[in-house]
Amino acid sequence: MAKFKGEIIIDVEKCKGCQVCAPACSFGCIGFSPKVNAKGYNYAVLEKPDACIGCANCAIVCPDAVITVYKAKVE
């Protein structure tokens, strides 16, 4: 069975750190940075890049659409 690998790119300066994306991920890939962005929010980061399958669940619940998702098949 072909497996998928995903990657998300988060626009950290536009992220408001609302944390709605974290429970949307079935694999718990998303964490929050102890650092803050220019607006003062603890922005989201991809903590487990190997577990991401590119399902885009995090991106579609993100109110500010700061997540861009890529997905590729791996043999």
Partner 1 sequence: MSSIAKKENLVYQKPALRTEKPYHYCPGCGHGVVHNVILEVLEEMGLQDKAIGIAPVGCAVLAYDYLNIDMQQAAHGRAPALASAVSRMMPDKAVFTYQGDGDLAAIGTAETIHACNRGENIVIFFVNNGIYGMTGGQMAPTTLPGMTSSTSPHGRDVKTMGGPMKITEMVAQLDGVYMCTRQSVHTPGNVRKLKKAIRQAFENQQNHKGLSFIEIVSNCNSGWKMTPLASNKWMEENMFPVYPLGDIKVDGKLVK
Q: Give which of 43, 44, 48, 45 is closest to 6, Cα–Cα.
A: 48
Q: Where are the alpha helices (DSSP H) in the chain?
A: 21-24, 57-61
CB of 43 to partner 1, least distance (A): 11
Give the whole-angstrom CA distance, residue 72 versus residue 36. Answer: 31
CB of 52 to partner 1, least distance (A): 10
Binding site for partner 1 (CB under 8 A): 5-7, 9, 14, 16-20, 23-24, 41, 54, 56-57, 59-72
